[in-house]
Amino acid sequence: MSTLRQTGGVSGYPSRAESPHDWIENSHASTALSYADGLSKAIRDPGERRTVVAIVGDGALTGGMCWEALNNISVAQLPVVIVVNDNGRSYAPTIGAFAQHLARAPAAPGIRARARQREAQPPSGAGRGAAFLRGAARYEARHEGHAAPQGMFEDLGLKYVGPVDGHDVAAVEHALRLARGFNGPVIVHAVTRKGYGYPPAENDQTDQMHQSRGFDPATGSADGDRGPDLTGVFSDELLRIADTRDDVVAITAAMCEPTGLGPFARRYPDRFYDVGIAEQHAVTSAAGMATGGLHPVVAIYATFLNRAFDQVLLDVALHRLPVTFVLDRAGLTGDDGPSHNGMWDLAILGVVPGLRIAAPRDETTLRMALDEAIEDDAGPTVVRFPKTPLGHDLPPIRQIGGVDVLAEPDVDASVDVLVVSIGPLAYEVLDAAARVREAGFTVRVVDPRWVKPIPVSWRIWRGPPVWSCTVEDGVVASGVGARVAQALRVSGIDIPNS
């Protein structure tokens, strides 16, 4: 575990390369039940009834895919055991009617309290066997060997076992055996406490433990305080805007604190909406708000917007609605793992008609981009930025047709190399440009800030340069570079080495 989330070390999420028990490695929530539904159908054998077990959190059950899967699992009536780990949280406390329903689930006296208050150290050694027998006896006494009736799940055709004290190993094992015996779809409702047994984790309300690379065992203080970042700048600027515009509302998909919306939620609780792990609903709900005259700001990790592309395209952009999407963790995210890399947004969103995309490079340009995006009532806008630490401002030397010039030999000089820098990669680009100059070439570095649509002024290519390139934290296909090359061809500008 000392190598957790480090190069060559242990992944922070399930990884099939690490263990045969990691069946899937997509760390986006709410997918397990659909996998289980498909797997149960694939291994169906009349001569051998094999049970598929899926574990989901109550937070994951705020996602629509879970209910689409339940709708089909119930009809198929194959042996699928669904363990609901009910700890009342995902990143943040679980919200919504279903969480309230689970909280009202009938339970033997004290079971929910014991799950949250029992001592940290479970029985060990020789005492474990006796504990198992005692737990099994207690469970039999409570449920008499049958699944407890539970309205909503029973109506869907699902048996229900629970609530079970998820920290009572004997009770959980017995519940699982009982569920397997039904030979059909069963819900096992296990009540647990997140971080159970380790007080710093149990008491953590900031979710720092969720993605920490390491921490002090004595205090629970997590590593990774990288100082100011662009998320904090966004958070501060959104508050400033909201103070002057009461039509601005904020939406998150169970990621309030990580996306920087915490301060907004605390200052304007009536203008803040956490929809749970439901990105599709978040986007179309925002469309409804915009239709009603509000300007929603949907703050979401770039990787999670992939899940709501159809809603961005058809529910927002088709209607030319003024919704601003703020994409945190855009680009490569390193130790977050492959499923969290936010490097597809520039390509995916590039095909959405009428959508404008800003890629600010520093604090000043982020504040400007957010202001400009929220002021735009003609259609949807996107402001995207990475999770890298906040660097110093990079003021432009001048502007050409709205494009910032960050470095050049002379105002009117033609250059050997022209570099179009996208977002905070400007710091690395300027360092590279200095080495290019040391090698004896002239270079101009420009930053369009708004990368869709591509700026219409092509005076930056005057000369034209011998070489040109774009530097972006995305994919080659359909990225900013591809759109620049296409625009150059349409404009009749021929740069062979671009």
Listed residue (57, 59, 64) closest to 94, CA to CA = 59
Do 362 and 392 form a contact (C-beta atoms < 8 A)? yes
**Catalytic residue (choose from 194, 384, 444, 483):** 194
Cross-strand partners of 399: 404
Residue 41: active-site member = no
Helix 32-42 × helix 64-76 angle, to 10° = 30
* Annotated catalytic residue 159: no
Dihedrals φ, ψ of 85, to 5°?
Answer: -85, 100
Give dist(CA 294, CA 246) in Å, integer: 9
Token pair 């999420």 in the structure block, residue? 13
Q: Does residue 361 have an active-site annotation?
A: no
Q: How far from the centroid of its chain's Cα atoms is residue 31's Cα? A: 14
Q: How many residues does the chain have?
A: 498
Q: CA torsion sign, 275 to 277 to 278 to 279?
A: positive
Exposed/middle/buried for residue 493 (C-beta within 10 Å: 0-12, 13-18, 19+) = middle
**Torsion angle of the four alpha carbons 362, 364, 370, 373, in this order, in degrees rounded to the nearest 10:** -100
Q: Is 56 exposed, middle or buried (0-12, 13-18, 19+ CB in 10 A)?
A: buried
Residue 299 to residue 284: CA distance in whole angstroms: 14
In 3D space, the residue among 470, 424, 468, 421 whose CA is nearest the CA of residue 442 turns out to be 468
How far is residue 394's CA from residue 447's CA, in Å, rounded to a whole number?
10
Per-residue b or e along 406-429, where b marks 16 or more CB atoms closer than 10 Å to that residue's CB: bbbeeeeeebbbbbbbbbbbbbeb
In contact, 385 and 329? CB cutoff 8 Å: no
- In sequence order, the β-bridge partners of residue 324 are 297, 381
Catalytic site residue from 307, 361, 367, 449: 307
**Contact, 112 vs 191, CB < 8 A?**
yes
Secondary structure of residue 187 in the 3-state scheme: strand
> Given 237, 279, 363, 472, which residue is catalytic?
279
* Farthest CA pair distance, the chain: 88
Which residues are part of the catalytic machinery?
194, 279, 307
